[in-house]
């Protein structure tokens, strides 16, 4: 009985949390016009979310691409179909690996930074001070950061994919000796703009989800050092799980 009650309480808690996320999103959307009238604020956040994640995204992309090239070469050489390596690498990167890995890296690099930043601003009364100055922190602080992430992630994904394909090219063509022409022509044969569109849709959804989680956790963090730390951890955990769930859902809708 006690166990059942506990499960019920947990469930109620989860539903309340979901509701508070939705309310948070609505409040943020209300504050959106403020941010849109100040594109400068958004630009700075694109810099923070995008430029500062660039090194990790490009490094990871190149190595993921190299692994795909290596594994793909190993699998296709067993079937005597090495020429398909380019197509397989491009498809797996564009449709799956690119959006998912980029979103996970983004959560770790930029998402945690967003949560910690907003959480600390809250803990040091900076958000409160803005309210007293009749400036809505939702519009001034939260919305630009959300937009910055939302815009940066699809671009980061495209960069990840491109670097990844170069990584696969490097391993497949340069190291393993797959025919250069076949690598690119098979890729062009099998990848069509629908695949790229699928990747872009995913990266937009993941970027939105990751940014929303990051700013929400920061904004609702407890006003203590421990609270901000916990919120940062939750950002990574929640984003990771959410991205993987969303990935399955979007894939099943689009296939």
- Three-state SS at 21: helix
Site for other proteins in 151-170 (CB under 8 A): 152, 154-156, 158-159, 161-163, 165
**Per-residue binder mask for other proteins (CB under 8 A), 117-156, x = binder:** ---xx--xxx-xx-xxxxxx---x-----------x-xxx
From the CB of 221, what's the least distance to other proteins, in Å?
16
CA atoms within 13 A on the CB side of 164: 29
Quote the radius of gyration of the chain (alpha carbons, Å): 21
With beta carbons less than 8 A apart as the criterion, state whether 211 and 146 touch.
Answer: yes
Gap between the Cα atoms of 73 and 90, Å rounded: 13
Selected from 71, 109, 179, 184, the binder of other proteins by CB under 8 A is 184
Residues in contact with other proteins, shown as a per-residue x/- string from 4 to 43 under the rule CB under 8 A: ------------------------------------x--x
Question: Which residues have CB under 8 Å from 93's CB, separation 6+?
Answer: 64, 65, 68, 160, 161, 164, 165, 168
Residue 187 touches other proteins, criterion: CB under 8 A:
yes
Angle at 192 between CA 248 and CA 185, to 5 degrees: 125
- Verify binding: residue 174, other proteins, rule CB under 8 A: no
Residues of this chain that bind other proteins (CB under 8 A):
40, 43-44, 46-48, 50-51, 54, 90, 94, 120-121, 124-126, 128-129, 131-136, 140, 152, 154-156, 158-159, 161-163, 165, 184, 187-189, 191-196
């Amino acid at each position: 009985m006690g166990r059942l009650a506990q499960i019920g309480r947990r469930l109620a808690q989860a539903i309340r949390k979901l509701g508070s996320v939705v309310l948070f999103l609505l409040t943020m959307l209300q504050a959106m016009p403020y941010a849109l009238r100040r594109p400068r604020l958004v630009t700075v956040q694109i810099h923070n979310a995008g430029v500062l994640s660039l090194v990790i995204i490009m490094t990871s992309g190149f190595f993921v691409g190299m692994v795909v090239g290596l594994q793909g070469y190993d699998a296709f050489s067993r079937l005597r179909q090495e020429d398909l390596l380019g197509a397989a690498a491009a498809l797996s990167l564009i449709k799956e690996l690119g959006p998912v890995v980029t979103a996970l890296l983004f959560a770790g690099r930029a998402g945690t930074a967003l949560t910690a930043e907003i959480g600390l601003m809250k803990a040091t009364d900076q958000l409160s001070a803005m309210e007293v100055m009749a400036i809505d922190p939702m519009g001034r602080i939260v919305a630009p950061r959300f937009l910055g992430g939302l815009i940066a992630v699809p671009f980061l994904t495209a960069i990840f994919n491109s670097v990844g394909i170069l990584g696969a090219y490097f391993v497949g063509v340069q190291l393993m000796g797959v025919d250069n022409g076949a690598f690119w022509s098979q890729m062009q044969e099998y990848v069509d703009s629908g695949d790229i569109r699928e990747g872009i849709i995913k990266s937009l959804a993941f970027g939105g989800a990751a940014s929303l989680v990051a700013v929400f956790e920061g904004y609702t963090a407890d006003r203590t050092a421990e609270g901000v730390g916990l919120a940062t951890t939750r950002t990574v955990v929640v984003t990771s799980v959410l991205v993987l769930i969303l990935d399955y859902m979007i894939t099943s809708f689009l296939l």
